[in-house]
């Protein structure tokens, strides 16, 4: 599992930062690694005490 970070603009609005939590699954085919599945969702909000 990892994170992808980028920017997103909805309906041409102002860009905002976005973080997705992602899982990639790879399979080796004919000597090469191929991405066979990708799942992403929004990272949970950090609710830990400061």
Mind giving me the DSSP string for 17-39?
A: EEEEEEEEEEEEETTEEEEEEEE
Q: What is the pLDDT of residues 19-32, one digit of tens each?
A: 999 999 999 999 99
Instruction: Give the Cα-Cα-Cα angle 16, 40, 1 (nearest 5 degrees).
Output: 110
pTM beyond 0.85: the answer is: no
Q: pLDDT value at position 7?
A: 95
Residue 37 pLDDT class (50, 70, 90 cuts):
very high
């Amino acid at each position: 599992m990892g994170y992808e970070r980028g920017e997103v603009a909805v309906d041409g609005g102002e860009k905002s930062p976005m973080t997705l939590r992602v899982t990639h699954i790879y399979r080796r085919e004919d000597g090469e690694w191929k991405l066979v599945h990708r799942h992403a969702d929004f990272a949970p909000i950090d609710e830990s005490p400061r």
